[in-house]
Amino acid sequence: MNIIAIDIGNSNITVAFFLKDSEQFIKSVAAGSSGAKDEFGKLLVEAWEQIPYVESPTVRKRDGVIVVSSVKDEWTQMVTGVCKERLDEKIKLIGKDIPLPIEMAVDNDSEVGTDRAIAAAAAFAVVEDAVVVADFGTAVTIDLVDEEGVFMGGAIFPGFEVAAKALETGTAKLPKIEISKPMDPVGGNTRDAINCGLYYSAVGALETITRQYAEQVGKWPQTIVTGGAAGVIKDDCEFVDSWVPNLVVKGIVLAYKKFLSKEDELAELGYKLQEERAGKKK
């Protein structure tokens, strides 16, 4: 299968290209930058031009698909426009054109970001048991999938960038910093104290929330972390089983394959019903 999987987040647009199910590249664009549209367009064309054409004497069309997960409508419109302008292709949007690939046990499915649902589905597809999926991005989401593969919901709190900015803008003298692994857990100056506070808050929140989930499912679930900031804290999270960068784009591919599988099942069912009706008429 040839697929361009696009994850539109709150800060970045990640483009993953799979040719015959083999990963060719995964690259991210800072969506808020002035050259984001052009940079995204170049990545898109780079991938699309490697996809072979459908073997047909009458149709000249590339044998590929563009599948998108998005949490930001404004950037979805931009991506849709670039795909049309540069490739004359339509996107398939998860949650609209493609259903979520996991059963949901939340109050309102539409309120859950598709990135959370498909990352959870991808994690469960590997673990096949209760699993916690923590995504450290602009916001941090820590979600629980039970042992039956049902998305139960989760917790959301500010990511490092948002939290650091809040301290800067909400106080008179605190500076904005970039979070890194502390050299010492006791900050000897204001910048180090902020760094320690935000860093260990994230580590502590992940452990505490995971423990609460474990009590709910009756066992300690496997824990998977992903997202741009996950690499910063993973070494201090001994209870974490796996660090999987770009879990969302892998979930996009899974969602599309599940969709195709369901379509094939429905087509086969329809064919069998037609055969049964034809047999009864005889």
Distance CA 69, CA 82 (A): 16
Say which amino acid occupies 46.
Answer: E
Q: Is the dihedral of CA 182, 185, 191, 195 positive or negative?
A: positive
Say which amino acid occupies 272.
Answer: K
Residue 233 has phi, psi (to 5 degrees) of -105, -10
Distance CA 147, CA 128 (A): 7
Distance CA 133, CA 261 (A): 25
Q: Angle formed by the axes of helices 247-281 and 114-127, to 10°?
A: 80
Which residue shows structure tokens 């824990």? 223
Residue 115 annotated as catalytic: yes
Per-position b or e across 228-258, b if 16+ CB within 10 A of its CB: bbbebbbebbeebeebbebbbbbbbbbbbbb
- The single residue of 115, 135, 143, 146 carrying the catalytic annotation is 115
Residue 276 has phi, psi (to 5 degrees) of -65, -45
Q: Is the dihedral of CA 85, 89, 93, 97 positive or negative?
A: positive
Say which amino acid occupies 172.
Answer: A
Catalytic annotation, residues: 115
